[in-house]
Amino acid sequence: MTPATESGLALPDGFLMGASTSAHQIEGNNVSSDWWAMENRPGSFVAERSGDAADSFHRWPEDMDLLSGLGFNAYRFGVEWARVEPERGQVSRAALAHYRAMVRGALERGLTPVVTLHHFTSPRWFSELGGWTSPDAAELFAAYARTATGILGEGVRHVATINEPNMVALMHTLVRRAGRSSGDSPGGRREGAAAFDPAAAEPDAEVTRALIRAHRAASAALREAGLGLQVGWTVANQVYQAEPGAEEVAAAYARPREDVFLEAAREDDWIGVQAYTRHRIGPDGPLPAPEGAATTLTGWEIYPEALGEAVRHTAGVVGPHVPVLVTENGIATDDDGLRIRYTAAALASLTAAMRDGVDVRGYLHWSALDNYEWGSYRPRFGLISVDPHTFARTPKRSARWLGSLARAGRLPEAPAAAPAGVSSAG
């Protein structure tokens, strides 16, 4: 039980406080990836190209300096498979050196690296083989994980194999329904100009099985390396809320879209929770956000309590022996004051869950930087803004506020009433 203090919940020893990014969304010019090919295909459905992104491939030292200087002790970033293995079996020693330098750089700055091996983007050659539906997918991904141990051995402890496998499986359904080519890799909650509505699609069952196989094969490969790696994966928690009388409908809805991926984590060392908002389920299925509900730049209902509900649900499914790491939580908004209010309310719901015994090991805010939101730069999630022309980084007030919590080693208590502009509880 974590003791509460008069100024909020004292953080457990070793609690990770920081921010998250992904390779394709911030590095720039990920030219060997399937997403790059999709973005630049004539007539592409992707509204905006990633291009240079935030140029973090070159500016990662500056990113880490800022995060460390703000007071954070952890940084989640991605290793890009398409850079490490741009052609099947052809490993780039330069890419390995690049990511080893990033791991060392994080550790030198007092940032615990949390590394994601696959965050929606795949090498073009892998997608052209059929991606996760390829009969060799699990072995090819495990081989990449084995190669990546040459990076992780620099001092990484927390490694996520696949980011949001449930979103990947859902997007495969969407891509198939849209009759797009097999080379069109799915990714992200948004695809092209259209926001992705998880409620509108059923995960591709074959891809679900393939992703779980790949996760298990990669996990075995990572453990065989004997580096003491703590292996998990990060699941998009949709916080399906049953309206009265719809409990069975909601449970049936959650199962293929989330719980099957949480169950696959029961033998893992940790589970990544990624929660932003909720999805209400009525007797006939998904319901729209409540009339007049405030929404974000991604069109999601502003519902910060989703975080506490997500960690409680996740702990209930994976069991008490698999600790929770919040690897994504945040809000797409140009109103940084709202970002602070939303995050304070989200952290308060997390505090309550921790005080009720959920074993939470860290909170990594999405995102460190304003970045490429899978087809658009418009939804800004960053604690730090990035000038699209000069790539100049400017920490927002929210970055300094969240960093001050990290420095103080505390999480805010539940607000007496939800701050203005943020949904009330329930």
- The smaller minimum CB distance to ligand GCO, of residues 184 and 328, is found at 328
Q: How far is CA 372 from each of CA 65, 67, 161, 340, 388, rounded to the nearest angstrom?
A: 21, 19, 21, 21, 11
Is residue 373 a contact point for ligand GCO (CB under 6 A)?
yes
Smallest gap from Cβ 298 to ligand GCO, in A, equals: 6
Q: CA-to-CA distance for 328 and 138, rounded, in angstroms?
A: 25
Instruction: Mark 330-359 with x for binding to ligand GCO (rule: CB under 6 A) and - for no binding.
Output: ------------------------------
- The smaller minimum CB distance to ligand GCO, of residues 11 and 306, is found at 306
- Nearest residue to ligand GCO, scored by beta-carbon proximity: 188
- The smaller minimum CB distance to ligand GCO, of residues 188 and 403, is found at 188
3 state SS of 16 = strand
Beta strands of 251-387 (E only): which ranges? 271-275, 279-282, 285-286, 324-328, 360-366, 384-386
Non-local (6+) Cβ contacts of 202 within 8 A are 170, 173, 256, 257
Q: Is 357 exposed, middle or buried (0-12, 13-18, 19+ CB in 10 A)?
A: exposed
Smallest gap from Cβ 400 to ligand GCO, in A, equals: 22
Query: To the nearest 5 percent, what fractions of the chain are helix, strand and coil?
Result: 40, 20, 40
Counting Cα atoms < 13 Å in the Cβ hemisphere of 284 gives: 2
- In the window 249-308, what residues touch ligand GCO (CB under 6 A)? 274
Among 76, 124, 189, 410, binds ligand GCO (CB under 6 A): 189
Q: CA-to-CA distance for 220 and 218, rounded, in angstroms?
A: 5
Is residue 370 a contact point for ligand GCO (CB under 6 A)?
no
Among 9, 16, 22, 35, binds ligand GCO (CB under 6 A): 22
Among 163, 219, 398, 423, binds ligand GCO (CB under 6 A): 163
Smallest gap from Cβ 215 to ligand GCO, in A, equals: 16
Smallest gap from Cβ 106 to ligand GCO, in A, equals: 19
Structure tokens at 418: 């939800």
301, 305, 309, 328: the active-site residue: 328
Cβ neighbour number for residue 344 with a 10 Å cutoff: 22
- The smaller minimum CB distance to ligand GCO, of residues 259 and 328, is found at 328
- Under a CB-based contact definition with an 8 Å cutoff, are residues 152 and 229 in contact? yes
- The smaller minimum CB distance to ligand GCO, of residues 214 and 246, is found at 214
- State how beta strands 74-78 and 16-20 pair: parallel
Q: Which range of residues in 69-77, 160-168, 252-260, 411-419 is near ligand GCO by CB under 6 A?
A: 160-168
Total residue length of the chain: 426
Q: CA-to-CA distance for 245 and 171, rounded, in angstroms?
A: 29
Total residues contacting ligand GCO by CB under 6 A comes to 13
Among 328, 336, 370, 413, binds ligand GCO (CB under 6 A): 328
Among 63, 80, 164, 309, binds ligand GCO (CB under 6 A): 164
Smallest gap from Cβ 401 to ligand GCO, in A, equals: 20
Instruction: Mark 61-90 with x for binding to ligand GCO (rule: CB under 6 A) and - for no binding.
Output: ------------------------------
- In the window 118-147, what residues touch ligand GCO (CB under 6 A)? none
Non-local (6+) Cβ contacts of 139 within 8 A are 217
Q: Is 422 exposed, middle or buried (0-12, 13-18, 19+ CB in 10 A)?
A: buried
- Under a CB-based contact definition with an 8 Å cutoff, are residues 40 and 49 in contact? yes
Smallest gap from Cβ 117 to ligand GCO, in A, equals: 13
- The smaller minimum CB distance to ligand GCO, of residues 11 and 376, is found at 376
The reply to whether 328 belongs to the active site is yes
- In the window 193-252, what residues touch ligand GCO (CB under 6 A)? 236
- The smaller minimum CB distance to ligand GCO, of residues 71 and 232, is found at 232
Instruction: Mark 27-66 with x for binding to ligand GCO (rule: CB under 6 A) and - for no binding.
Output: ----------------------------------------
- The smaller minimum CB distance to ligand GCO, of residues 11 and 346, is found at 346
363 forms beta bridges with 17, 326
CA-closest candidate to residue 364, choices 290, 280, 275, 295:
275
Residues that bind ligand GCO (CB under 6 A): 22, 25, 163-164, 167, 188-189, 236, 274, 328, 366, 373, 381
* Residues annotated catalytic, as ranges: 328
